[in-house]
Amino acid sequence: MPLQNETFLQACRGERPAHTPIWLMRQAGRYMPEYRAVRSRVTFNQLCRSPDLCAEVTLQPIDGLGVDAAILFSDILVVFDALGIDVRFEPSPVIATPVRTEAEALALRWGDPHEHLGYVFDAVRACKRALADRVPLIGFCGAPFTTLSYLVEGQTSREFEKIKGMIFSAPKVFAGLMENMTSLLCEYLRGQVLAGVDALQVFDSWAGALSPADYREHVLPHLARLVHFTRGLGVPLILFVRGNANLLALAAELPAEVIGIDWSIDMDQAIAVTGPNRVVQGNLDPMLLLGPAELVERKARACVAAGRAAKAHIFNLGHGISRHTDPAIARHLVEVVHSA
């Protein structure tokens, strides 16, 4: 069944649709009153485990903003269900039993995501039904390093002292955990594709914790395995490696169809790295949306203009939208990009 709005998938294929497609990272979230209304009735964990509510929330920015793609409402940390490890959102994530020693790493039980994460696949099916082929649905996971950073740090970290300490003092323990995490994430993404997602995004949100040389040595081989695995799933992949523009050249070595660009580099500079034959996604600083409409318009138009040097451009923010964003300015951004 063809989609009513194919612009996002056309851009993923390197085509230039009639307008630049746009979606926003974290487009379903606390900045939207409709989302807060749902969240006032359930906890975040309950929401992620209720396929019908996930579908309702996934569609809120489709109806409310007019974006060209939906992203499954879930979280990168639900995969810990496959390890039997609880995450509480307070509201920042907290893992009660972090894994820091070799003994703790060896004691982990790596369960099958097809068995433990069925509610995510049910949510994908509920989203696809609710979308009724209006726009494509993006599935996602955290990259092996970002996901593992939560397991080792036990929470969002500033310095990444525990996981970097593990990389440098016990590299074999780290590599073993990365190996298992990557296998888990491969199967998790396969489950999402089997359930019906039209594209995938891998978020390496905390990649910038490492120097490029250490990222290449300790992380890139695992990320490469994940990217190569997904090439066999038949849907396009967006690879978003965030936090240090010097990592962009490494990300661009991998065969993802689309390279996500964060806001730490200007789009023309990013395309100089990825080259004219690559599709890029990004990269407006999300905090710009806290400024006046004229500023948002000017910066958005400049980003669209710069994006014309790439093979194709999917407009997005350079990281997740702030919870303090006025939904009206997000809606305005979508109109500006569509008319640019």
DSSP 235-296: S-EEEEE-S-GGGHHHHTTS--SEEE--TTS-HHHHHHHH-TTSEEEEEE-GGGGGS-HHHH
308-327: contacts with ligand 1CP (CB under 6 A)? 320
Q: Which residues are catalytic?
A: 26, 30, 39, 75, 150
25 near ligand 1CP (CB under 6 A) = yes
Of 2-10, 12-20, 22-30, 265-273, the window that binds ligand 1CP (rule: CB under 6 A) is 22-30
88 near ligand 1CP (CB under 6 A) = no
The one-letter amino acid code at 220 reads L
Of 9-17, 72-80, 158-166, 298-306, the window that binds ligand 1CP (rule: CB under 6 A) is 72-80
Judge contact between 192 and 229, C-beta under 8 A: no
108-167: contacts with ligand 1CP (CB under 6 A)? 140, 142, 156
Nearest to 318 by CA among 246, 242, 239: 242
84 near ligand 1CP (CB under 6 A) = no
Q: How far is the CB of 256 from ligand 1CP (least distance, A)?
A: 16
Of 8-16, 71-79, 126-134, 249-257, the window that binds ligand 1CP (rule: CB under 6 A) is 71-79
Among positions 8, 203, 215, 315, the unique one binding ligand 1CP when judged by CB under 6 A: 203
Residues 6 or more apart whose Cβ sits within 8 Å of residue 140: 71, 72, 74, 76, 200, 201, 202, 203
Judge contact between 224 and 232, C-beta under 8 A: no
Residues 6 or more apart whose Cβ sits within 8 Å of residue 38: 47, 53, 56, 57
Q: How far is the CB of 15 from ligand 1CP (least distance, A)?
A: 24
* Contact residues for ligand 1CP, defined by CB under 6 A: 25-30, 39, 44, 71, 73, 75-77, 89, 91-93, 140, 142, 156, 203, 205, 320
